[in-house]
Amino acid sequence: MSVAAAGDGPWLDDAAGRLVRPFTVSGGRTKPSVALDLMSQVMATGATPLGYLGPEHATALQLTRAPVSVAEIAAQLKLPAAVTKVLLSDLLDCGALTTKPPEYHHIPTDRALLEAVLDGLRRQL
């Protein structure tokens, strides 16, 4: 069994997994202050957030140098989407991020979109 050092990212244990509960990362909050869709695109504004931000906030900011979806950030942080949305809403509230709703939001079952997703998945296999 090995435990990662505090500066090595999320505290992990090979057998047990993450040692810090995901909702501890968001301070126990479960609702973001801004409504975010999993496909919403977020991008860093370049503004420096004021006050203390946790390591997950800093990692999220690094991931958003280019537009990226909320779902992708959750996957990269290895956190539940609900927790990721809370972290991102913190960054939106302090002006460090900007967001844009997904362009297909009004037609979520658009055939062209679904075919593009299917083609992308097939390329991954």
Per-residue pLDDT tens digits for 22-65: 666 666 676 888 888 888 899 999 888 877 788 888 899 999 99
Weakest mean pLDDT among 7-21, 42-56, 106-120: 7-21
Residue 2 has pLDDT above 60, yes or no: no
**In whole angstroms, what is the distance from residue 113 CA to residue 115 CA?**
5
42, 70 contact by CB (below 8 A): yes
Q: Supply φ then ψ for residue 43, to 5 degrees.
A: -150, 140
Burial class (CB in 10 A: 0-12, 13-18, 19+), 70: buried
88, 67 contact by CB (below 8 A): no
**Range 45-48 contact pairs with CB under 8 angstroms and sequence separation of 24 or more:** 45/95, 45/96, 45/97, 45/98, 47/94, 47/95, 47/96, 48/96
Both tokens assigned to 40: 């919403």
pLDDT of 23 reads: 62
Q: pTM for this structure? A: 0.65
Tens of pLDDT, residue by residue over 61-91, are 999 999 999 999 999 998 888 889 999 998 9
